[in-house]
Amino acid sequence: MTIQEILKEYWGYDSFRPLQEDIINAVLKGKDTLALLPTGGGKSVCFQVPAMAKEGICLVVSPLIALMKDQVEALKKKRIPSLAIYSGMSFLEIKRTLQNAAYGNYKFLYVSPERLETNLFLEFLPALNINLLAVDEAHCISQWGYDFRPPYVRISALREYLPNVPVLALTASATKAVQEDICNKLQFGLNHQYFQQSFERRNLSYSVFNVASKQNKLLEILKNVQGTAIVYCKSRKHTREISDLLKLNNINADYYHAGLSSEDRNNKQESWINNKTRVVACTNAFGMGIDKPDVRIVVHYDVPDCLENYYQEAGRAGRDGKRAYAVLLYNNKELADLQELSAIRFPAEAEIKKVYTAVMNHLQVPAGSGEGISYDFDLATFSTSFKINILTATYAIKALEQEDILSFNEVFFKPSTVVFTTNRDELTDFENQNPDLEPLLKGLLRSYEGIFDFPATVYESKLARFIQLDIEELKNNLKKLHDFGIISYASQKDKPQITLLQNRMYNDDYKVNMNEYVKRRESFEERVKAIIQYIKKTSGCRSVHIAKYFSDIRINACAICDNCINEKVIYISTEEFDSIMAQIEKITKQRSVEMDEILAGLKNIRKEKVWRVVNYLQAENKIKTDKEGFISFC
């Protein structure tokens, strides 16, 4: 099929979004390609479509386990066979996955970067017939970026094994320096291609407010603008408090953070996606990979520490192209704290060593051993036990991650798996002898295709409903089948994990590259400076400011951010203001309309004046915006 036919057949779209087709064609011509596509720009299609157009399997490197799983499940629903390998899987599970990738009819293999270097992976690599290497979240390869991950640096080693395979690097937010670093680290060829989608979001209105009471301002915003909303908070405690505040004020809300169980996170996310929950108060653990186009407003209740994060999170509003709002609330103390953050985020060398020794003692790892072993790790328990400030512990562990000494996965979740370990004849005999277990066996066979050959992901609650059995009884029966040797049943794990990437160092051998560490701290300080400049900016378009930060100099002033509106305070006489208001009332009183229709109806009046009157009417609760972005007179 042509790429257009593939897009239509599997994704249901008649045409590509801007730049997608250009990126796909560059990949199909075998060129290394860097694609900078802002949040919601359709990055996954850029590697999924060309991979479908070629023989072989696409190797996708991604650092986010939850996102990998979501994409694999989404591809399976499109009847595209896909696999994933990530931390927490057993040796047997990884081997079976690689065997399926090498000898089965699969099109995508998602792999976390630290898995690429294992002997097992390299052993299977020649048999995989890889047609494309896609590096998602490619900014993670640069230590000058905001989310540096050392395993990404070693992705380029794969090029030795895949000399004729093109590399597609994708990211939503990277400065010019980080873009160049990505190309260098991935050893792009001289004729590599570069595509950058515009950072312009014509429908998204950015605003920043310095307020005495954030609670009152938040309530005001959510009452003035209807529709789905996200409120980003820095702490888990804050998410719960904000959710409670909104509920007390009759706003349907919930909270979300990485400390919740996987089942809770999934339920809360689904409720919000399906519009059963209007507002979710969350940490930045929420939103990655979620494609909900009708978010009307994103509020940052706490100040983010860099423009990269802010742009990605704010950009989750208004992906349907209708009017949406990105609002940042702050106070002066927060900015002062932000300027002091570098000292907290980058502990002294002695503090890092102290935390490392404490972690090794906590996990009871003998010197000279431990490499490749994963341990359950509760950060709060550890900090209390060793009387270490939890922030110091957090960022010391982050420093150890960036030195490739260990990895810490706070949102680790490994679902239950089942695979049959007997043949069908023996299974029939077992069923005849154990009729009480027959419904469960039948339920497994009917629900999970290929369960004789490969561990199937099993959700006990869903299976229990299917065979109409109490969930605790179901789990006990699964354990019985495991003990009988009929199945191999691995129950779910839902605890944070530390994985040692090196053997425990002896005291005399302990070392951290402080030169690189200091450079990373300086890069962090530059990013803090940039977000503070954005917040304090009282003139000039906010959209233009963000775009310039990412080296996009092509966009025009948006005319709808707070600064643009304030700058365009062109004199409007009382008579003209009343006239514009009357015309808006006439247009919106009989039916709800989009902003474009109001502007078209008043096309002889400067749009800045129209926007000013609309914003006044909204502030005075004389017009309202519904969840679809339509405006009506109250």
The per-residue pLDDT for range 346-359, each reduced to its tens digit, is 999 999 999 999 99
Tell me, what's the pLDDT at 189?
A: 86
Tell me, what's the pLDDT at 569?
A: 60
The answer to whether residues 545 and 504 belong to one domain is no
**pLDDT tens sequence across 606-619:** 877 888 788 888 87
- Domain containing residue 290: 204-330+537-556
Query: Residues 57-84: what's their mean pLDDT?
Result: 89
The answer to whether residues 374 and 324 belong to one domain is no
In a domain, 532, yes or no: no
Tell me, what's the pLDDT at 141?
A: 93
Query: Residues 130-157: what's their mean pLDDT?
Result: 90
**Which of 147-156, 363-372, 413-422, 551-560 is most confident?**
363-372
Query: Residues 160-171: what's their mean pLDDT?
Result: 94
pLDDT at 411 over 70: no
The answer to whether residues 456 and 408 belong to one domain is no
The answer to whether residues 350 and 282 belong to one domain is no
Give the count of domains, the chain.
5
In a domain, 336, yes or no: no
**pLDDT tens sequence across 274-289:** 999 999 999 988 877 6
Identify the weakest region by mean pLDDT among 75-89, 155-169, 239-253: 75-89
Tell me, what's the pLDDT at 88?
A: 67
Q: Are 520 and 178 in contact (CB under 8 A)?
A: no
The answer to whether residues 251 and 135 belong to one domain is no
> What's the CATH code of the domain at 385?
1.10.10.10
The answer to whether residues 170 and 214 belong to one domain is no
Name the domain boundary from 152, 180, 196: 196
The answer to whether residues 126 and 140 belong to one domain is yes
Give CA–CA dist 621/623, Å, rounded.
Answer: 6
**pLDDT tens sequence across 571-593:** 678 888 889 999 998 898 888 88
Tell me, what's the pLDDT at 570?
A: 62
In a domain, 138, yes or no: yes
Tell me, what's the pLDDT at 271?
A: 95
Backbone angles phi, psi at 60, to 5 degrees: -110, 120
Concatenating the DSSP letter of every residue in 249-284 gives: TT--EEEE-TTS-HHHHHHHHHHHHTTSSSEEEE-T
pLDDT at 148 over 90: no
pLDDT band at 338 (very low <50, low <70, confident <90, very high): very high
pLDDT at 227 over 90: yes
In a domain, 562, yes or no: no
Name the domain boundary from 196, 217, 246: 196
**pLDDT tens sequence across 98-132:** 999 999 999 999 998 888 878 889 999 999 999 99
**Which of 63-77, 165-179, 560-574 is most confident?**
165-179
Q: Are 110 and 65 in contact (CB under 8 A)?
A: no
The answer to whether residues 37 and 181 belong to one domain is yes
The answer to whether residues 388 and 433 belong to one domain is no
The answer to whether residues 436 and 511 belong to one domain is no
In a domain, 438, yes or no: yes
In a domain, 215, yes or no: yes
Tell me, what's the pLDDT at 124?
A: 93
Tell me, what's the pLDDT at 494?
A: 66
Concatenating the DSSP letter of every residue in 581-602 gives: HHHHHHHHHSS-B-HHHHHHHT
Residues above pLDDT 90, as percent of the chain: 54
**pLDDT tens sequence across 494-532:** 678 898 989 999 887 887 788 888 988 999 999 999 999
* Counts for the chain of helices (H) and strands (E), in that order: 27, 21
**pLDDT tens sequence across 78-103:** 999 999 998 667 788 889 999 999 99
Tell me, what's the pLDDT at 573?
A: 81
Among residues 283, 286, 249, the alpha carbon closest in space to that of 271 is found at 286
pLDDT band at 242 (very low <50, low <70, confident <90, very high): very high
The answer to whether residues 247 and 221 belong to one domain is yes
Query: Residues 393-411: what's their mean pLDDT?
Result: 86
Identify the weakest region by mean pLDDT among 159-163, 475-479, 629-633: 629-633
pLDDT at 410 over 90: no
The answer to whether residues 277 and 248 belong to one domain is yes
pLDDT band at 295 (very low <50, low <70, confident <90, very high): very high
Tell the burial category of 175 from Cβ atoms under 10 Å away from its Cβ (0-12, 13-18, 19+).
buried
In a domain, 370, yes or no: yes
**pLDDT tens sequence across 487-499:** 999 887 667 889 8
C-alpha 87: how far from its chain's center?
A: 17
* Residue 425 CB neighbours (<10 A): 8
pTM above 0.75, yes or no: no
Please indicate whether residue 342 or residue 609 has the higher confidence score (pLDDT).
Answer: 342
pLDDT at 391 over 60: yes
> What's the CATH code of the domain at 592?
1.10.10
